[in-house]
Amino acid sequence: MRSASSRRSRWGLRTLGLGYLALLLLAPLVLIFYKTFEHGLAPPLDAITSPNGLHALKLSLLMVAIAVPLNTIFGIGCALLLVRHRWKGNAVIDAVINLPFAISPVVIGLSLFLLYGTKGWLGPDLAEAGIEILFSVPGMVLASIFVSVPFVVRETVPVLQEIGTEQEQAASTLGANAWQTFWRVTLPAIRWGVAYGVVLTTARVLGEFGAVSIVSGSRSGETETLPLFVQKAFDNFEFAGAYGASVLLALLALTTLLAMNVLKRKEDA
Partner 1 sequence: MGISVEGATKSFGDFQALDDVSIEVPDGSLTALLGPSGSGKSTLLRAIAGLETLDSGSVLIDGEDVSKKPTQKREVGFVFQHYAAFKHMTVFENVGFGLKIRKWDKAKIGDRVHELLDLVQLHGLADRYPSQLSGGQRQRMALARALAVEPQVLLLDEPFGALDAKVRKDLRTWLRRLHEEMHVTTIFVTHDQEEAMDVAGQLVVMNQGRVEQSGSADDLYEHPANEFVMSFVGEVNRLGESFVRPHDIEVVLDADDRTEQGMVQRIVALGFEIRVEFVLGDGTEIWAQLTRNELQRLELREGQIAYLRPVQAKSFNGSSPSNDHGASTPHGNRDGGDAEVSAAV
- The minimum distance between CB 67 and partner 1, in angstroms, equals 28
57 in Cβ contact with 48 (< 8 Å): yes
> Considering the rule CB under 8 A, would residue 189 count as an interface residue with partner 1?
yes
Q: Using CB under 8 A, which residues numbered 107 to 126 contact partner 1?
A: none
> Considering the rule CB under 8 A, would residue 87 count as an interface residue with partner 1?
no
Residue 21 identity: L
> Considering the rule CB under 8 A, would residue 176 count as an interface residue with partner 1?
yes
Q: How far is the C-alpha of 97 from the C-alpha of 68, rounded, in Å?
A: 16
Neighbour count for residue 202 (Cβ, 10 Å)? 25
> Considering the rule CB under 8 A, would residue 175 count as an interface residue with partner 1?
yes
> Considering the rule CB under 8 A, would residue 82 count as an interface residue with partner 1?
no
157 in Cβ contact with 94 (< 8 Å): no
Neighbour count for residue 227 (Cβ, 10 Å)? 21
Neighbour count for residue 77 (Cβ, 10 Å)? 13
- The minimum distance between CB 256 and partner 1, in angstroms, equals 23
Closer to partner 1 by Cβ: residue 8 or 184: 184
210 in Cβ contact with 146 (< 8 Å): no
Give the x-and-dash track for 129-168 against partner 1 (CB under 8 A): -------------------------------------xx-
Member of 188, 236, 255, 258 binding partner 1 (CB under 8 A): 188
Q: How far is the C-alpha of 68 from the C-alpha of 229, rounded, in Å?
A: 21
Closer to partner 1 by Cβ: residue 15 or 169: 169
Footprint of partner 1 (CB under 8 A)? 166-167, 169-177, 180, 184-185, 188-189
